[in-house]
Amino acid sequence: MSERLSRAEQVFPALIWLKNYNQHIFKADLLSSLIVIAMLVPQAMAYAMLAGLPPVMGLYASVIPMILYAIFGGSPTLSIGPVAIISMMTFATLSPLFELGSPVYIQAACLLALMVGIISLLLGLFRFGFLIQLISHPVIKSFIIASALLIALGQLKFIFNIPLQSNNAIEFLESFIQYFSYIHFASLALGLFAILFLIYLPKIMQHPKIKFRFKGHQFISRAVPLILVVLSIITVFYFHLQNIGIKTVGEIPSGFPSLSMPFWNLDLVFKLLPGATMIAMISFVESLSIAQATALQQRSHLNSNQELIALGISNISAGLSSAFPVTGSLSRTVVNADAGAKTPMAGVLSSLFIVIVSLYFTGFFKDLPLAVLAATIMVSIWKLVDFKSFSETWKYSKVDGIAMWITFLGVVCIDISTGLIIGIISTFILLLWNISRPHIAVIGLVEGTQHFRNIERHQVKTDPHILSIRIDESLTFLNTHTLKDFLINEVSKKKELQHVIINCSSISSIDLSALEMLEEFDIELTKLHIKLHLSEVKGPVMDKLKQSNWINHMNGFIYLTHYQAIQQLSKKEK
Amino acid sequence: MSERLSRAEQVFPALIWLKNYNQHIFKADLLSSLIVIAMLVPQAMAYAMLAGLPPVMGLYASVIPMILYAIFGGSPTLSIGPVAIISMMTFATLSPLFELGSPVYIQAACLLALMVGIISLLLGLFRFGFLIQLISHPVIKSFIIASALLIALGQLKFIFNIPLQSNNAIEFLESFIQYFSYIHFASLALGLFAILFLIYLPKIMQHPKIKFRFKGHQFISRAVPLILVVLSIITVFYFHLQNIGIKTVGEIPSGFPSLSMPFWNLDLVFKLLPGATMIAMISFVESLSIAQATALQQRSHLNSNQELIALGISNISAGLSSAFPVTGSLSRTVVNADAGAKTPMAGVLSSLFIVIVSLYFTGFFKDLPLAVLAATIMVSIWKLVDFKSFSETWKYSKVDGIAMWITFLGVVCIDISTGLIIGIISTFILLLWNISRPHIAVIGLVEGTQHFRNIERHQVKTDPHILSIRIDESLTFLNTHTLKDFLINEVSKKKELQHVIINCSSISSIDLSALEMLEEFDIELTKLHIKLHLSEVKGPVMDKLKQSNWINHMNGFIYLTHYQAIQQLSKKEK
């Protein structure tokens, strides 16, 4: 797909793959869609519950958004729909404003999806896709770990069957201590069984000694959550477990909602705006990084602005079809790709299956125990809690490690959105802090070569009349004073000094503050009969310097190489 | 002074100059102190008025702070005392909270000085002097221009003798339109005369044709404001100008206040904290840049943390001696240095003269017209309004130019502190924005050399199997996606590609986000049978990379020079 795309293909990437669509591709897509659907049904219902919404809304969220992404999106395998982190953020946004599960809450969830969609669409149309880079890897990793932890904690309320708070770990602990004595042991037993089932069944099936050697093995291992769901429904139904206090999903309306605008007014929009913005950002980060992971394999064009537009349209449709915010799901996308999906048609097919489920099988899920659904969430989300990455990050870079801890503590101790914002801001501050502490070295000639090295690390030749300095950072207002202090101190040390040469090989730009510092410093040096020179100035920096006055008035010279500078300046003395 | 300082000399820099103090130095100091005092008396009173305080407080603010700076400060010529911008900021902080000139207002001004002092002292003790670099030159320039403009506008209320607002230009215009018809023409005439006197008398005195050829010429030209003040007092006194509505300074208490703690409570402290922080920052920026301007001449050690401590102690003493926030004055420092001051003793002497004025001559200033005092402020402040620097900055750098305009509009249209904060934040955002758009080039070999250049700008040799890339910025999360997009696009273009080499000569650091991107990219490339190599990695970056796992698993190599990489990789193919 390296040829140039037509205008229509840029707007509707679906046109690219539809051109060559055939029976073989369809078979591959159909197979993978069946595998994905086995994961999608329990996930969709569980994530709706996580967002504080009726499980059926998870099904709604898996249909139209997926179909629209297939038309507008660039990734062939990305599976769009309900996702744990986004559902958690939806819950965090709505729960402080409205009563959980009330009609207003549900309407607000739809409105939130609509707003997330509009924000994403606008960002994409105005080409703000680059904004994704504002969030660094350590922050996003730490955010995911901390959110997963909060999500797992939050599910304990269904397993213990007590009203636990889970906006942050402190609230959780407080409410846990308060309701500790009310733990419902039948629910707990069921939940624990479900967790063990989900963890160990796939392991047993993959154990080398007990190898299941039939064709559908991979499919069954992925369908474990679905098997559990079906088994638990049957158990509840036959043994009337509701009678011993096991809570279930309850009556689910069948049929499929018609498109409708959710209730809105300006006041509500303003209340939801911060949450919607955060959700739009995170859903974009998640979705794009998942899509990128598979993009190179297909040598496909993946345009971040087009992805924002596709995600925006998907979320708008979610808002209009009684669903809640959606994004690309890591687990389902990986399974989809592994199962051999070739085009987004696989996604379209899986959403058609969901329609069938919504129309004819919702009654079946009435007896699904909440503790089992919570267990599926806990097991799938726990894979994201990777504490090892804290120590690995810390080992590579203290700055990145600090950002990770700040984000983690922010999310766990305050709340999911505040923690994310604090984490993002901390990375900016740490980056600026790093820029303000550039590496500056006095350099000398390595004898017998034309190379210059730090005089403190290497044995080098220096001249008492010449001070050579190298700075390993672009010059900005943030490091101007550091450089000036350094220069003043070095100059004050050397009584016989006649020349100062700054090696500019690592300087990619010089801002006005730095330029004026150099200019002032040159004037001061001139009064002391010392000349300031530059060497190895890069092309773009030189272009800029030519725009300034200083370059015409400076007393020193600009040398192509540092070696040349030293040679000429030592010669002059003799 | 390049020898090592003792511990005592670090804490009390005064010990350094006291060691060698003698009669000759004293004579030089005495002379310059006399010249400075002629400027200081009218300035001190005018700036107190600018802060909304009784003029006598300006005299108080010029005594103890100066003496303490002489003991603790590092600059021999810096003149500490009331300064226009800081007085304006004091006014902006206090006037929304208290009734102008009321006893509470005056007490709050003392408390503000005390808080500014404590903030500066703490920042100095904890070595936060580097914080000065947070404010870029364009922001500080623009801030000074905009504040000077607001100060000049604010003085018009004394010249027109109508109650004009001057927190921002919009308020000013509104109140001007409202009170336009009440302009008091006698005050206006006096003010205009004073302005013309202040502008043209020094010019006439310096005119080559009318050269005053006596020894005290320089002194007289600097004493012009003092001459004007004395003349106007005599005029008002003899002609009883109060009778025609000319407002004067009025009764000034003689004597000198005893040290006392200003009234305070926690509520008040919290209200003043934002203002105090801003004043502490700006007073530090002003003071240090003035001190630095003369530091190199004396080859003196100027330690920014020690300067913060000295400034802190000065302001604390200002707060305890019924004065208001002080800092280094540009105009007086320059005059002091030009007049030959050798040590801070010059400052001590000038403060002793102020004590004499406060004790015996305050009665004399009772008849000083406010319009004249306002005229001295306007003329001296107008020198700071340098609109030319907007176009010069814009010419050198659009980014710096944008920061300048944002600061200017913020100060002029909102208020002095908000404008400054907006300006500072805008520079951070613009800097991050610049980092996120690094210059990336595909490079090729300049034939007959070992140099590599941008293929778009130069005629170079490339190999269809090898992609060479150079990025002119350290790799951080802010530019990781830009680099990745660039790489993915370039790789997708070349069907025969076998090697990608990233030239790292301009990369001073690689953060975790960038490292992981490279790692992922390497994995994706490997699946396409393409190898990723690095060349010309700097020492500190290499040290960091060795801490990561990737470097051990990477499929490509790290080459010392790009030329070597190309040579070896082309050889292998053959």
Three-state DSSP class for B445?
Answer: strand
H or E, element range at A445 = strand A440-445
Residue B481 C-alpha, separation from nearest chain A C-alpha, in angstroms? 6
Q: Which residue, among B390, B446, B451, B511, would best test binding to A if mutated, counting the most A CBs under 10 Å from its CB?
A: B511
Q: How many CA atoms lie within 13 A of A554 on its CB side?
A: 24
B137 and A477 in contact by Cβ < 8 A? yes
Residue B193, pLDDT above cutoff 90: yes
Residue B71, pLDDT above cutoff 50: yes
A472 and B431 in contact by Cβ < 8 A? no
Q: Which residues of A touch B543 (CB under 8 A)?
A: none
Residue environment code for A445-480, b if the CB has 16+ CB neighbours within 10 A, otherwise e: beeeeeebbebeeeebebbeebbbbbbbbbbbbbbb
Q: Which residues of A touch B516 (CB under 8 A)?
A: 137
Residue A13 C-alpha, separation from nearest chain B C-alpha, in angstroms? 17
Q: How many CA atoms lie within 13 A of A494 on its CB side?
A: 22
Smallest CA–CA distance from A473 into chain B, residue: B508
CATH 3.30.750.24 segments of chain B: 440-573
Smallest CA–CA distance from A403 into chain B, residue: B512
pLDDT of residue A333: 84
Instruction: Name the residue type at position B208.
Output: P
Q: How many angstroms separate the CA atoms of A349 and A355, rounded?
A: 10
If one counts every other C-beta atom within 10 angstroms of the C-beta of residue A495, the result is 8
As given in the structure block, the two tokens for residue B151 are: 């100060």
As given in the structure block, the two tokens for residue A97 are: 């404003």
Instruction: Name the residue type at position A14.
Output: A
Q: What is the largest CA-CA distance in chain A?
A: 104
Show the low-confidence residues of chain A (pLDDT under 70). Answer: 1-5, 208-219, 293-301, 572-574
Residue B387 C-alpha, separation from nearest chain A C-alpha, in angstroms? 16
| Helical segments of A321-397, H only | 330-338, 345-360, 370-382, 388-396
| pLDDT tens string B536-569 | 888 788 888 888 888 888 888 998 888 889 989 8
Name the residue among A297, A481, A508 with its Cβ closest to that of B133.
A481
State mean pLDDT over B368-393. 86
Residue A327 C-alpha, separation from nearest chain B C-alpha, in angstroms? 20
Nearest to B64 by CA among B103, B18, B7, B110: B110
| Helical segments of B101-242, H only | 103-125, 137-160, 169-179, 185-206, 217-222, 224-239
Instruction: Assess: ipTM above 0.85.
Output: no
| pLDDT tens string B238-287 | 998 888 888 888 877 777 777 888 888 899 999 999 999 999 999 998 88
Smallest CA–CA distance from B454 into chain A, residue: A539
Chains A & B: contacts with CB separation below 8 Å: 167
A400 and B478 in contact by Cβ < 8 A? no
Q: Rounded to an integer, what is the distance from CA A216 to the centroid of its chain?
A: 34
B395 and A547 in contact by Cβ < 8 A? yes
Q: How many angstroms separate the CA atoms of B59 and B43, rounded?
A: 9
Nearest to B415 by CA among B178, B151, B230: B151
B112 and B276 in contact (C-beta within 8 Å)? yes
Q: How many angstroms separate the CA atoms of B287 and B325, rounded?
A: 13
B327 — phi, psi (to 5°)?
A: -160, -175
B302 and A400 in contact by Cβ < 8 A? no
Q: How many angstroms separate the CA atoms of A35 and A16, rounded?
A: 25
Average pLDDT, chain A: 86
A476 and B431 in contact by Cβ < 8 A? yes
The CATH code belonging to domain B440-573 is 3.30.750.24
Q: Which residues of B touch A307 (CB under 8 A)?
A: none
| pLDDT tens string B417-467 | 889 889 999 999 898 888 888 889 899 988 877 778 888 878 888 888 999
pLDDT of residue B220: 73
pLDDT of residue B573: 55
Smallest CA–CA distance from A140 into chain B, residue: B513
Q: How confident is the model at residue B176 (pLDDT cuts 50, 70, 90)?
A: very high
If one counts every other C-beta atom within 10 angstroms of the C-beta of residue A547, the result is 12
State mean pLDDT over B394-419. 91
Q: Provide the whole-model pTM.
A: 0.78
If one counts every other C-beta atom within 10 angstroms of the C-beta of residue A564, the result is 14
A399 and B431 in contact by Cβ < 8 A? no
Three-state DSSP class for B440?
Answer: strand
Q: How many angstroms separate the CA atoms of A488 and A258, rounded?
A: 74
Q: How confident is the model at residue B342 (pLDDT cuts 50, 70, 90)?
A: confident
Cβ neighbours of residue A388 closer than 8 Å, sequence gap 6 or more: none
B476 and A505 in contact by Cβ < 8 A? no
If one counts every other C-beta atom within 10 angstroms of the C-beta of residue A203, the result is 9
A482 and B133 in contact by Cβ < 8 A? yes
- The full DSSP string for B68-117 is HHHHH-S-SS--EE--HHHHHHHHHHHTTTS-TTSHHHHHHHHHHHHHHH
Instruction: Name the residue type at position B301.
Output: H
pLDDT of residue A3: 45
Residue environment code for A137-146, b if the CB has 16+ CB neighbours within 10 A, otherwise e: bbbbbbbbbb
B139 — phi, psi (to 5°)?
A: -65, -45
